[in-house]
Amino acid sequence: MEQKVQVNAAVVAQSKLDPVTFEVLRSIFEYASDRMSTVLQRASFSPILADMVDFSNAIYDYDCQLLSQAANCPIHLAAMKFSAEAIIARYGLSNIHEGDVLCVNDPYQGGTHINDMTFMSPIYVDGDLLGFAVSRGHWLDLGGGAAGGQAFAGTHIAGEGLRLPPVKVYERGVMREDIVEILLCNTRTPHFVKGDLQAHVGCLRAGTLEMQRAAAKYGTVTLKVAMKQLQEYTERIVRKSISDIPDGVYAGEDYADTDGFSAQPIHIRVKLIVSGSDITVDFSGSDKTVKGAINSPYANTASAALYSLQFFLAPHAPQNQGMFNPIKIEIPEDSWLNAKWPAPTIGCTTLTSAKITSAIWQALAKAIPERVTGSTSADCNWFVSSVVAPDGTTDVFSDLPAGGWGASPYSDGMNVTEDPLGNCMNMPAETAEILFPIAYEAFELRQDSGGPGRFRGGLGAIFKVRYLAEGALSMETARTLEGSPGVAGGQHSDVQRQSKIYADGRHEVIGGRDPQGVWHNPLLCAHPFGFGDTFMFESTGGGGYGHAWERAAEAVLEDVLDEYVSLKAARERYGVVIDPQTLVIDTAATATLRAHLAAGLPG
């Protein structure tokens, strides 16, 4: 087999396809990934896969280079290659057979956090290795010290659940019952696990069949030629885009509010070094490994850096390894962005990667200010809760209350949209209420949450869910000290906050600043809720773009009429004075107030 691959590689290097065949095969490769996602979503059992679409699928070529990917979770997609490489390194190609399905979730072997399970299956055609189908999904629960593995009170990876090295779950098409039993014995949700596993296997099979059909029609050599030409094509597009950025060193910074233990923020410091058609992303100067569970393994950090750049390089290009070849990642060995065993990592994808994106976008704002947006809410706001129904049965539910995106040089930011890291969906209230003893009471726009600017940041939301049973909620979030930064003079958005509303009406802030100004750790671990208690989360919006006093007064009035902006914020943040009775702009007072704001004087 290995000799045949080498012979074909020599042919591939000397061959070229005509444009029509090239384009047809490019579409087939992309369709194979899309088909995988369709099968996975329709066949999965857990709502986090079936409804929230927290999964990703891709096809890799025979060299384990990304060939195509579905439009799923960016933080998964750029990291899956590291998991695939770890599997191959563990077994060797000679021990990976047709019908095998291999799995890994180890954060230190290409994984991110433990809940992200990666499955891989080889694609063979007449004994010739054509490539690999790879699927990653966030599984609802794999044990650990709190539901969903969100054991933020812990300081060791063992507290976050079952950690699997590369292992075969199916061998030559036969399920390994011993491995499946281990999975079922290490979860609070065994009723979801086996069905989700079979859904992943089904989607791998779907991708394999599409590639085999293409090989039957065009031949494996032609497909391999197309694979390499496609990656080269994308790389040329990306390099051209990088060349349009002025050479230089551009710095950016962001932070997590806490690791759950530190009284000081945990900082990300990044330098983008642009030289010709290459970019180096240097994380030197970032804080060292931390005690709490927000450390990011190399694969997660690299993935966040790669997808963050692609937003502004060549998002229109075919998505494959060519996107990443011009980009080099440098991370100090002792950094919290290069986690080693036994550093806990449960918050790495949902919290840390979003801050990496924000830091990189802050750096890009210095290089290409005419193209970059303000930061998004920069958090997934992932929460997981165990619940005990009145009949004594237990379950786990989860959601991702979205925030706003940053404003662009041309428009306001999007309201209540999942952070770029996920590209997921909120849990439908109807699904949640059917499956779990809870009631969704609110999911509405949060006034004044978008960062002020010439273009306003998108708004966050107010989210409320009431418990109809006893439960224990764990959650990661940040942006509780200050909101998301704007660019080009745009301002920060509002802060985030977690609250508990007791059944008797009492209101308690349990994460973020309370009305007295006291700050509460927002990394919640198994916080108890009783029957009738309500969890309320106030998400932030995106950062603004440009100075707020440059925003058209009529646009501010429109925001007031839409209840996006309050009369008070219109005056204090935008310098627009609106009569509360007639809702008419006081032109003279507005001109005076805006002149004061532009001069840095108090209104």
Yes or no: say if 344 and 155 are a contact pair by the CB < 8 Å rule. Answer: yes
Sign of CA dihedral 331, 337, 342, 346: negative
Give yes or no for a contact between 244 and 141, defined as CB atoms under 8 angstroms apart: no
Tokens of 231: 């990656």
Residue with the two structure tokens 């929230």: 52
CA distance linking residue 446 with residue 424, whole number of Å: 20
Secondary structure tally for the chain: helices H, strands E? 14, 21
Phi, psi of 388 (to 5 degrees): -120, 110
**If residue 308 lies in a helix (H) or strand (E), which one and from where to where?**
helix 298-310
DSSP at 63: T
Tens-digit pLDDT profile for residues 230-275: 999 999 999 999 999 999 999 999 999 999 999 899 999 999 999 9
Among residues 466, 481, 469, 452, which one has the least CA distance to residue 594? 452
In angstroms, rounded to a whole number, what is the distance separating the alpha carbons of residues 481 and 34? 40
Distance CA 376, CA 360 (A): 12
**Token pair of 119 as six digits:** 């499955």
CA distance 128 to 3: 10
- Exposed / middle / buried, residue 16 (Cβ in 10 Å: 0-12, 13-18, 19+): exposed
Work out the burial of residue 449: count CB atoms within 10 Å of its CB; fewer than 13 is exposed, 13-18 middle, 19 or more buried: buried
Given phi > 0 = left and psi -120 to 50 = alpha, else beta, which region is 11? alpha
pLDDT at residue number 329? 97
Dihedral Cα 472, 476, 482, 488, nearest 10 deg: -150
Q: Which residue stretches of 94-219 are H helix?
A: 177-184, 190-218
pLDDT tens digits for 67-112?
999 988 999 988 999 999 999 999 999 999 999 999 999 999 999 9
Contact criterion met (CB below 8 Å) for 517 and 490: no
Which tokens is 302 given?
A: 């690299």
Residue 12, pLDDT score? 61
pLDDT of residue 14: 60
Q: Which residues of the chain have pLDDT under 70?
A: 1-14, 602-603
The pLDDT of residue 140: 94
Rounded CA separation 182/196 (Å): 15
**Helix/strand/coil (H, E, C) string of 127-157?**
CEEEEEEEEEEECCCCCCCCHHHCCCCCCCH
DSSP string, 476-501: ----SSS----BTTPPP-PPPEEEEE
Please state, in angstroms and as integers, the Cα–Cα distance from residue 341 to each residue in 85, 104, 282, 325, 421, following that order. 19, 16, 22, 28, 24
Answer yes or no: are the C-beta atoms of 103 and 198 closer than 8 Å.
no
Q: Are strands 327-330 and 278-282 parallel, antiparallel or unpaired?
A: parallel
* Residue 258 and residue 522 in contact, taking contact as beta carbons nearer than 8 Å: yes
Rg over alpha carbons for the chain, rounded to the nearest Å, is: 25
Is the pTM for the entire model greater than 0.85? yes
> CB burial class (10 A; 0-12, 13-18, 19+) of residue 574?
buried
pLDDT of residue 2: 44
Tokens, residue 337: 């962005």
Q: In the numeric block, which tokens belong to residue 56?
A: 């990703």
The answer to whether the beta carbons of residues 164 and 10 sit under 8 Å apart is no
**Which DSSP state fits 311?**
T
The packing angle between helices 567-574 and 553-561, to 10°, is 160
Q: Are 127 and 121 in contact (CB under 8 A)?
A: no
Tell whether the torsion through CA atoms of 207, 212, 218 and 222 is positive or negative.
positive
Q: What amino acid occupies position 447?
A: Q
Per-residue H/E/C for 460-480 = CEEEEEEECCEEEEEECCCCC
Residue corresponding to tokens 């030197």: 284
Nearest to 152 by CA among 382, 379, 330, 398: 382
